[in-house]
Amino acid sequence: MSYNILCQKLIRRDLFKYASKSSLRMKPRKERVAREIRHLNPDIMCLQEVGTEEWYQTFEPQLKSSGYESRIYQSLRKAHGVSISWKTDRFHIVDTVQLAMDSSLEVCGEKLSTDNVALITVLRMVPGPRSGTSGDTLPEDNDDSSGVIVSSTHLFWRPTACFERLQQQIALLGALDTMKKKYPGYPVISCGDYNTTPDDAGYDLMTKSRPVSLSEFQFDNLFPRHSENFNKADESSDDSDGSDDKTSKHVGSKSTSTSSGSLVSYANIASIGTDAETDELRRKRRRLEKEAQRAEELLQNDTRRVQTLVETFQKSFQPMRSCYGTYADLDPSYRTTQWDGEPIFTNYTAWKGTLDYIFYTPQCGLEVRQVMSLPTVDSMKPGLPNEVFGSDHVSILARFDFKPANSTLI
């Protein structure tokens, strides 16, 4: 199960104008979320936007009383984090990794500029009777085929930050690969709010066979957003003679005052003479040439940065599968023309779209048996959270057949 439960400290009335007061208050909201968790009763659960107060006051005690053990991890600069919980009668933890995706981490030679986290746990199945069998036992505790690697993450939220999210995906997959080498034969289940829609480059690189051919739209969206500012002139360096365009200049018997950012009309040029025309246009030509040079250098550098990330992703990591990758075929009401397979939304607010995923590696005998159906649109109107659902995201859940252990995971 993966579920972004909406941290209380992130709620602002202007973001949820349609919501009732009771649907936004902490106490009824967390009760709805806790009730949903109890009803679904997953073996493994990954939560995102877990507020510190809600976790220690409500969720952790309730989960513990329901037979779960948990781990939580958050940035020191945020009021929320991610968690992984598992039933202790099914699993015990053998390893864990806390991944800080901030300036302390480098990807492809660049320090990350974000402040997100991921949590990875390695869970081993507890020997005991198998479901649906009599007297049969799971593999012994030291059997490498009887465990699973699970991650929970919440990637950078800004819609235009595809570059930063791709850096984070590479960091997460690199950490998961390290654990796969340490625990060979263990499949991976990677859950979370990836803040990535199915038409983004990050989704295709995550799920499609190599080589992945990105569209021009996808590639362009990967460019770092700082490039939006490359047209801003550095006025202090444009004039080598140290002059200031905003001061009055006298040419013959005429006087004029111009701004360095203004345009010179042909009528003004004719009125102040050829000398003024040459002087003014020379400065503007130098300014435009410098701006064009800066823009070209920045474009070439950003193109190299994006190409490096994409090539690293494709060469270093094998594609995973999304549990809900064909959901629209099962429930046509969730079909969209924007992308194939994935549901039209897992986040239902003023903005609606799919951001949440359960990715997995099928190579190690892990197969999806079922996925949980998503709520009807009518039950979510006018938006989430509401009097039924406690978060602005819906929960997603998959049932796996785990062949090495001849068992079923929820």
Taken in order of first residue, the domains within the chain and their CATH numbers are 2-210+318-409 (3.60.10.10), 228-302 (no CATH)
pTM of the predicted structure, to 2 decimals: 0.84
User: What is the full per-residue pLDDT of the chain (410 aa) written as tens digits?
Assistant: 999 999 999 999 999 999 999 999 999 999 999 999 999 999 999 999 999 999 999 999 999 999 999 999 999 999 999 999 999 999 999 999 999 999 999 999 999 999 999 999 999 999 875 443 333 344 444 455 589 999 999 999 999 999 999 999 999 999 999 999 999 999 999 999 999 999 999 999 999 999 999 999 999 999 998 744 333 333 333 333 333 433 333 333 333 444 444 444 545 555 555 555 688 888 888 889 899 999 999 999 999 999 999 999 999 999 999 999 999 999 999 999 999 999 999 999 999 999 999 999 998 889 999 999 999 999 999 999 999 999 999 999 999 998 765 677 77
- % helix / strand / coil in the chain, to the nearest 5? 35, 25, 40
Q: What is the pLDDT at residue 61?
A: 97
Q: What is the pLDDT at residue 127?
A: 86
Instruction: For residue 306, give the nearest of 114, 172, 108 by alpha carbon.
Output: 108
Q: What is the pLDDT at residue 375?
A: 97
Residues 6+ away with beta carbon under 8 Å from 117? 73, 74, 75, 81, 82, 98, 99, 100, 101, 153, 154
Q: What is the pLDDT at residue 409?
A: 72
Residues 6+ away with beta carbon under 8 Å from 177? 316, 317
Identify residue 394 by its one-letter amino acid code: V
Backbone angles phi, psi at 3, to 5 degrees: -155, 120
| 37: three-class secondary structure by DSSP | helix
Rg of the Cα atoms in the chain: 27
Q: What is the pLDDT at residue 148?
A: 96
The Cα–Cα gap between 345 and 89 comes to 34
- DSSP letters for 338-354: SSSSS-S-SEESSSEE-
